[in-house]
Amino acid sequence: MSVDCQRIQDAFMFQYEILSFFLVMSAGIYLIWNQMGVATLGSIAVIVVITVLNIIFGKLQQNYQSVILALKSSRIKLLNEVLNGIKVLKMYAWEPSFTRKLLNIRSREMVFLKKVCVVTAFSMLFSVHSPFMMNYFILLIFTLMTSSSYLSANKVFVSLSLVNTLRFTVTMVPFVITGLIQMLVSIKRIEEFLCKEDLKPDNVSTSINTGYAISIEKGHFTWNRRNPRNTLNRINLRVGEGKLVAVVGQVGAGKSSLIAAMLGEMDKVQGHVNVQGSVAYVPQEAWIQNLTVKDNILFGSKYVEKKYRRVIQACALLPDLAILSAGDNTEIGERGINVSGGQKQRISLARAVYSNSDVYLLDDPLSAVDSHVGKTLFKEVIGPEGLLRHKTRILVTHGVHWLPKVDLIVVMDNGTISEVGSYEELMQEKGAFSQFLEAYLLQEDEEDSEIARIKDDMWEQLECVSDYGLSADDSDVLTRRQSARKMSTRRKSRFSIPSGRRMSYLHPVSESSSENESSGLLHRSNSARRLSTHDKVNSLQKLHRSLSEGRILPYDAGAEEEEDTGRLIQEETSQEGTEYADRKYYYLIIYTILGVLQGIFLFMFAYLGLTRLINASGSLHSSMLFCIFRSPMAFFDTTPVGRIMNRFSSDIDILDDRVPRTFRLWAIMLSTLLVILVVISVNTPAFMIAIVPVGVLYFIMLRYYLPTARQLKRIEGVTRSPVYNHFSESITGASCIRAYRAVDRFITESQARVDINSTFYHAANTASWWIGIRLELLANFLVLAAALFSVFSDTLSGAGIGLSLTYSLQVVIALNLVVQSVSEMEMNIVSAERAEEYTRLAPEAEWIEPGSRPPLSWPEVGRLVFKSYTTRYRQGLDLVLRGLDCEISGGEKIGIVGRTGAGKSSVTLAMFRIVEPAGGKIEIDDVSISSMGLHDLRSKITILPQDPVIFSGTLRSNLDPLQRFSDHDLWTAIERAHLKDFVNSCVGNLQYECGEGGQNFSVGQRQLVCLARTLLHKTNILILDEATAAVDVETDELIQKTIKTEFRECTVLSIAHRLNTVMDYDRIMVMDKGLIVEFDSPQKLLDDKSGVFYSMAKDANLVS
Q: What is the CATH number of the domain that holds 637?
A: 1.20.1560.10
3-state secondary structure of 16: coil
Element (H, E) at 817: helix 811-837
Give how far the C-alpha of residue 158 lies from the chain's centroid of Cα atoms, to the nearest Å: 57
Distance CA 1036, CA 1000 (A): 20
Distance CA 510, CA 516 (A): 13
Residue 739 class from Cβ within 10 Å (0-12 exposed, 13-18 middle, 19+ buried)?
A: buried
Contacts of 528 (CB under 8 A, 6+ apart): 541, 542, 545
Q: How does the average pLDDT of the chain come out, rounded?
A: 78
Considering the domain boundaries, does residue 926 fall inside one? no
Angstrom CA distances, 211 to 242, 251, 547, 613, stand at 11, 32, 67, 70
CB atoms within 10 A of CB 202: 10
Tally of domains within the chain: 2
Considering the domain boundaries, does residue 519 fall inside one? yes
* pLDDT given for residue 870 in this prediction: 92
Is residue 612 very low, low, confident or very high in pLDDT (cuts 50, 70, 90)? very high
pTM: 0.70
Which tens digit of pLDDT belongs to each residue from 798-820?
Answer: 667 777 777 777 777 777 778 77
Q: DSSP letter string over 576-641?
A: -HHHHHHHHHHHHHHHHHHHHHHHHHHHHHHHHHHHHHHHHHHHHHHHHHHHHHTS-HHHHHHS-H
Domain boundary among 807, 837, 867: 837
Element (H, E) at 214: strand 214-222
Distance CA 640, CA 290 (A): 12
Decide if pLDDT at 529 tops 60: no
CB atoms within 10 A of CB 490: 14
What residues are paired with 760 via a beta bridge?
none
Distance CA 534, CA 806 (A): 12
Q: Is the peptide bond before 174 cis (omega within 30 degrees of 0)?
A: no
Decide if pLDDT at 82 tops 80: yes
Same domain assignment for residues 163 and 215: no
Considering the domain boundaries, does residue 847 fall inside one? no
In degrees, rounded to 5, the angle at the alpha carbon of residue 701 between the alpha carbons of residues 699 and 705 is 120
- Count, in order, helices (H) and strands (E) of the chain: 38, 21
Instruction: Extract the runs of DSSP E, i.e. beta strands, from 989-1082.
Output: 993-994, 1021-1025, 1051-1055, 1067-1072, 1075-1080
* pLDDT given for residue 627 in this prediction: 93
* pLDDT given for residue 507 in this prediction: 39
Which tens digit of pLDDT belongs to each residue from 625-670?
Answer: 999 999 998 888 778 777 788 788 888 988 888 888 778 778 777 8
Element (H, E) at 922: strand 917-924
Distance CA 846, CA 106 (A): 25
Element (H, E) at 895: strand 893-898
Same domain assignment for residues 170 and 227: no
Sheet holding 1051-1055, edge to edge: 942-944, 1021-1025, 1051-1055, 893-898, 1067-1072, 1075-1080
Same domain assignment for residues 34 and 179: yes
Which tens digit of pLDDT belongs to each residue from 992-1031?
Answer: 888 777 777 777 788 888 888 888 888 899 998 877 655 6
Distance CA 716, CA 671 (A): 31
Considering the domain boundaries, does residue 636 fall inside one? yes
Same domain assignment for residues 223 and 268: yes
Distance CA 143, CA 573 (A): 12
Domain boundary among 782, 807, 837: 837
**Residues 823-846, mean pLDDT to the nearest whole number:** 85
Same domain assignment for residues 14 and 131: yes
Decide if pLDDT at 523 tops 80: no
Same domain assignment for residues 486 and 576: no
Considering the domain boundaries, does residue 753 fall inside one? yes
Of 508, 509, 504, 634, the C-alpha closest to 903 is 504
Distance CA 879, CA 654 (A): 42
For residues 684 and 775, is the Cβ–Cβ distance under 8 A? no
What residues are paired with 222 via a beta bridge?
267
Of 747, 751, 759, 749, the C-alpha closest to 718 is 759
Same domain assignment for residues 738 and 809: yes
For residues 183 and 63, is the Cβ–Cβ distance under 8 A? no
Of 150, 565, 508, the C-alpha closest to 331 is 508
Is the dihedral angle over the CA atoms 275, 276, 277, 283 positive or is it negative? Answer: negative
Distance CA 75, CA 106 (A): 7
Considering the domain boundaries, does residue 859 fall inside one? no
Of 436, 259, 232, the C-alpha closest to 359 is 259
3-state secondary structure of 408: strand
Q: DSSP letter string over 283-333?
A: -SS----SSBHHHHHHTTSPP-HHHHHHHHHHTT-HHHHHHSTTGGGPBP-
Same domain assignment for residues 19 and 147: yes
Contacts of 878 (CB under 8 A, 6+ apart): 872
Strands 864-871 and 1067-1072: unpaired
Same domain assignment for residues 679 and 556: yes
Which tens digit of pLDDT belongs to each residue from 472-497?
Answer: 444 444 444 554 444 444 443 333 33
Of 235, 254, 231, 221, the C-alpha closest to 1002 is 254
Q: What is the CATH number of the domain that holds 265?
A: 3.40.50.300
Which tens digit of pLDDT belongs to each residue from 124-179?
Answer: 788 777 778 887 888 778 777 765 555 665 666 677 667 766 666 666 666 677 67
For residues 324 and 264, is the Cβ–Cβ distance under 8 A? no
Considering the domain boundaries, does residue 756 fall inside one? yes
* pLDDT given for residue 463 in this prediction: 60
Which tens digit of pLDDT belongs to each residue from 280-291?
Answer: 999 888 888 888
| Residue 835, CA atoms < 13 Å, CB-side half-sphere | 27
* pLDDT given for residue 935 in this prediction: 92
Is residue 351 very low, low, confident or very high in pLDDT (cuts 50, 70, 90)? very high
**Residues 743-763, mean pLDDT to the nearest whole number:** 90
Start-to-end C-alpha separation, the chain:
61
Same domain assignment for residues 649 and 724: yes
| Residue 1095, CA atoms < 13 Å, CB-side half-sphere | 11
* pLDDT given for residue 104 in this prediction: 94
Which tens digit of pLDDT belongs to each residue from 577-599?
Answer: 445 555 667 777 888 898 899 88
Domain boundary among 837, 856, 884: 837
Distance CA 217, CA 185 (A): 45
Same domain assignment for residues 68 and 144: yes
* pLDDT given for residue 102 in this prediction: 93
Strands 893-898 and 1051-1055: parallel
Considering the domain boundaries, does residue 59 fall inside one? yes
Angstrom CA distances, 158 to 32, 35, 791, stand at 8, 8, 17
Strands 392-396 and 359-363: parallel
Range of the domain at 359: 207-276+291-331+339-491
**Residues 546-572, mean pLDDT to the nearest whole number:** 40
Distance CA 860, CA 1050 (A): 10
Contacts of 435 (CB under 8 A, 6+ apart): none
* pLDDT given for residue 255 in this prediction: 85
Same domain assignment for residues 479 and 550: no
